[in-house]
Structure 1
């Protein structure tokens, strides 16, 4: 089949329409070979719309045809409708816009789906909200049961601080409380007592972290930095069965489909999560394609790390399958910007928000240079994409250095697409070095929206010049993908972090943090075409699948979505509110709104 799409390059993007479409189809080939017409008819045709192909030319067509799970034609209505037969499902788009199925480059689906299994967790924007939740849980739990809150980041509270040990004591004196934000936490007095953390306690396990103390008494003040592992919690929620986990995961994938997602990357997969994905796949309940980066604990010794990498490489899921593919390795290189532990090239600065008192403090890096190099090289040697959680510019530079060293060892990393996860704080130098080696990156636009105000207060405008520098990365030719780092709750906008990709696209266009006026370095904003590529073909490239999906071209998987508004012409502020009318996965309808 040959399809020719032409356009006038001088026409503006928002008014591009298909000018000519010549379709020589497999149908005609079958006629010439003596096969019946019906054998090559399309199963599904969407016509009368604006099909944004996201091909190399960003061409726009009127119609698209699908047979099986693949696209067989894209072009003008008349040409594509010629493929219709008696059994073809024809959908009149009535002028609506079609995009390739969207891809999220970073989720933690199996954990996120179970977050509210025991009970709903309200949104929390203030310390008062946190304390009210703790008090409400204390009223329904037996005395002595743990109250645990995860990932309510202090940078996302209007108060911009942790709840104190004593505030938690007041609302839950008879319950141990853990307020956890990744590796950092705030706990109350009973939690400290049960964990054996007192005035004389010292960290002796050789792992990172420190315990904040009252400067006058030396007593722990309840804030634990990068050592939440020291808290000895016990379970207090009802136990989930395997069927519960499958049902919740299926429900989450249905919501991913609702916001236009047809593929996701699990950036921290375990044996248990892979088993859940496989079970859904076997039962034909898997409605998102899943790329897995296998979680590897970089704090283990090298022998254990290499065994785990080899386990991933020898897994049957390492063989390509467009529904479930184990193709990556994920480690943690530094802390987080939400917890004040991202590893920076320059000191963080004394901070009340982050409880930083040392003017030379630069954050935490977890993997020494030599060990990082060896882990990354071993993963690449085993045909596994390596990525590392790298938030601060110090960590980003350290990871690039490791990839460069591997490349100098007569082991070309070009084409192997080593990745940087998060990659929030960058530099012009880092971008140039990434481009040279085809290093890719997985970024989360929602963090700019959610945390921009706090970061501006902490670092000032100049230090944020290369915070999520989308335009600089695109212009340099570095391939980056958009993701969410979805960790808790089901719901595209209510989740931690929000996974609605249209919200993500809007953030890259407007760069407007919440709770503040104006934009954060608007010169780093994207065009609409670039924003769409961020969640389609770019993410397909991140997972080595740009020839399979990410654009609407003949031969590719028929993953596509129909929008309620035209993303190319709607006012910028309305991009975030676009909804998806239909979602197709391999030509199969997996989401449709009620008419």
Structure 2
């Protein structure tokens, strides 16, 4: 989305009557108490998110746990001279947010590289960005990789010939912000040994020209042929970057995360941060694994889970499966029931990337289920979601009903016949609804390439909820990065989009709604990022709601978000993030943009980027190139019929 318009809108909203920060102090009471609270928060609106929808005004905490929830008067008996008191002054207190699909360690490593900022850019601009970064490199070497991260893949086309303009001596790689796309020069192809004779790896594609030669465009698992050659950062460097990312995530009110592709190295980093006492966040990992039907791999996963089985903050109870790719043109590796269209109303023979035979997927999912793992599946296309549900049904038939909290993530297109199967199979719908709006990704890079009736199934959150599915929320960070905001996709901003399905930031999409029938409510979204996410992460007995006996993980917002319009959610500030009864983020002195280290490393960009800012995020971390403004005004890119309805409530 246009960052300038976004910021002007945000600034205007921020100026609308923000509630003043409360005072943190110590207070006394004449009432004798046997076991006083260490922390009391009072005078606010406490949305407990418990089963009864209880609304309170105050909470008392002793150590890590909640000891009382109720009225201000009810807290008096828990206060003595040592009790810390937070006067909420009408602000809102919620359970700490839970991001159930995110990549903290992987995302942090992107902060160390030359960045295109997620913008919709032509290849010549990307080339200039790379050249600017090369010129600024204090220690260039001929064997040093030139990397540009956060490249927006929507409608972007580049070849090895294009990237040879950056260097023919040094290997060059452009890494898509979606995590599914990369472009390399001829030097990188040569180092990786990629030729016309190189077969596509399982789960990936090497794009080839009419003669069968690699073009330099690598999709999904094919990227690993090249990225495996890039020297990694040191452990200490990665740990430092991960710490900065954790601080950024905490600033959004998030107290627990599900790392949705956690390598063993990432688990080492989380463990080291916990040992240092700086993690201060609950981490649930779905482990990275791309080896199917291998006993040694199953043993490795089981051993890694056992290593963290009794860890206070970290668990490794899940395994991630990439079942397809992404849907946007020109990548189009998401597996679809109906073939992609050619952009001019005609069907092609491309059904996307069907990465598993059904029998293989069935056996893989059933084995993981039998071993007690949560199966967390990346699924963009409707064909893939159907196949994954079939595999989960097969697992249930073979293993019986388990409580493994299986999840299907993203769900960009779902066939209506599969809506009720989520509830029937007990599968959570893990969605990233910050993406559910008319923009370059949905209107320009998807709509012309889908049959119209299938496009009306985009991000079907409302239909899934109506069919009884449990909605879980996640950001998929670092998929969304703005030049002036390293993490724009938050529980609050995602809620603003999910409630409206509109784009008020870019004038070319004004008046459009992305499938209005799929809107959800604020209550739905708050549940998705609290109690529902806690259930998905097997944390619901400890967090996710504000109830006596649970851990004291909270977020304090600057105002009552039930009393504002959906788009005003974009201006709401996180005042405090509280983890285990400790304030781990305090924004009451001044609003936070981003940790300074992240701003200086990740967001400092060449002038070539700043002259052409014009897009939102890419999608899903897991012809000729055309600038977005040109594509968006073309008749073929405009909505037709009921695909994009005028504004109206769900």
TM-score (norm 2): 0.78
Alignment partner, residue 348 of structure 1: 340
Structure 1 position 569 matched with structure 2 position 568: no
Q: Deviations over 1:114-154 (max 9, x none)?
A: 22235666453312542221221333434453222345232
Match status 1:553 vs 2:547 = yes
Change (3 A) 1:493 1:297: farther
| Contact 2:405–2:427, Cα closer than 8 Å, also in 1 | yes
Compared with structure 1, are the counterparts of its residues 425 and 40 closer, same or farther at alpha carbon in structure 2 (3 Å cutoff)?
same
SS where residue 46 of structure 1 aligns? strand
1:244, CA displacement in angstroms? 2.8
CA distance in 2, matches of 1:87, 1:170: 66
1:534 and 1:142, CA in 2 relative to 1: closer, same or farther beyond 3 A? same
Deviates more, 1:521-530 or 1:202-211: 202-211
1:333 aligns with 2:323: yes
User: Are the aligned partners of 2:293 and 2:364 in contact in 1 as well (CA < 8 Å)?
Assistant: no
Is the Cα contact below 8 Å between 1:44 and 1:89 reproduced in 2? yes
Residues 491 and 547 of structure 1, relative CA distance in 2, 3 Å threshold: farther
SS in 2 for 1:380: helix
Deviation per residue, 1:551-575 (Å, 9 max, x gap): 1111111111111122111222111
In 2, the alpha carbon distance for the partners of 1:461 and 1:81 equals 60
Instruction: State the 1:369 CA deviation.
Output: 1.7
Establish whether residue 184 from structure 1 lines up as the match of residue 181 from structure 2: yes
Point out the more displaced range, 477-486 or 498-507: 498-507
What displacement does 1:542 show? 0.7
Q: CA deviation at 1:494?
A: 3.3
Task: State the distance in 1 between where 2:542 and 2:101 align.
Answer: 19
Q: Residue 109 and residue 370 in structure 1: after superposition, are their counterparts in 2 closer, same or farther (change >3 A)?
A: same
Correspondence list, 1:235-314, <5 A: 235=230, 240-298=233-291, 300-313=292-305
- Decide whether aligned partners of structure 1 residues 245 and 230 sit closer, same or farther in structure 2, where only a CA change above 3 A counts: closer
> Counterparts of 1:219 and 1:482 in 2: how far apart (Å)?
41
Provide the residue aligned with 1:478 in structure 2: 469
Q: What does residue 394 of structure 1 align with?
A: 383
Cα distance change of structure 1 residues 309 and 144 upon mapping to structure 2, 3 Å threshold: closer
Q: Report matched runs for 1:420-499 at 5 Å.
A: 420-449=408-437, 451-453=441-443, 454-459=445-450, 461-487=452-478, 494-495=485-486, 498-499=488-489
Is residue 103 of structure 1 aligned with residue 94 of structure 2? Answer: no
* Greater RCO (Cα-Cα under 8 Å, separation 6 or more): 2
Deviation, 1:39, is: 3.7
**Does residue 374 of the first structure (1) align with residue 363 of the second (2)?**
yes
Q: For structure 1, which segment, 447-456 or 97-106, has the greater mean C-alpha deviation from structure 2 after superposition?
A: 447-456
1:207 aligned counterpart, secondary structure: coil
More displaced stretch, 80-89 vs 510-519? 510-519
Distance 2:73 2:132 in 1: 62
- Tell me the CA shift for residue 490 of structure 1: 8.4
Report the counterpart of residue 133 of structure 1 in structure 2.
129
Q: Give CA-to-partner distance per residue, 1:191-210, whole Å, 9 cap, x none.
A: 33444445xx2224763544
The answer as to 2:163 corresponding to 1:168 is: yes
TM-score by length of structure 1 reads 0.84
Contact 1:293–1:326 (Cα < 8 Å) also in 2: yes
The offset of 1:295, in angstroms, is 1.5
Cα 1:522–1:65 shift into 2, 3 Å: same
Deviation of residue 536 (structure 1)?
A: 0.7
Query: 1:556 and 1:569 mapped to 2: Cα distance?
Result: 27
Per-residue deviation, 1:388:
1.7
Count of residue pairs brought into register by the alignment: 543
8 Å contact kept, 1:45–1:81: no
What do residues 219-248 of structure 1 show as CA deviations (whole Å, max 9, x unaligned)?
Answer: 543333442233377547xx6443333222
Unpaired stretches in structure 2, ≥5 consecutive residues: 1-30, 590-650
> What is the CA-CA distance between 1:455 and the residue it aligns to?
2.2
Would you say the 8 A contact 2:42–2:57 is kept in 1?
yes
Q: Deviations over 1:365-411 (max 9, x none)?
A: 222222222221222222211122121111110010011112223x3
Would the aligned equivalents of 1:346 and 1:362 in 2 still touch at CA under 8 Å?
yes
Q: Deviations over 1:8-64 (max 9, x none)?
A: xxxxxxxxxxxxxxxxxxxxxxxxxxxx95441111111111111112232221111
Alignment pair present for 1:525 and 2:515? no
Q: Per the alignment, in what secondary structure is the counterpart of residue 82 of structure 2?
A: coil
CA deviation string 1:221-280 (max 9, x = no partner): 3333442233377547xx644333322222211111111100000111122211221222
Q: Which stretch of the first structure deviates more once superposed, 375-384 or 340-349?
A: 375-384
Q: Residue 151 of structure 2 aligns to a residue in which SS?
A: coil
Counterparts in 2 of 1:448 and 1:488: CA distance versus 1, 3 Å: closer
Cα separation, partners in 2 of 1:37 and 1:232, compared to 1, 3 Å: closer
Aligned residue among 214, 225, 228 for 1:230: 225
- Which residue of structure 1 aligns with residue 627 of structure 2? none
What's the secondary structure of 1:568's corresponding residue? Answer: helix
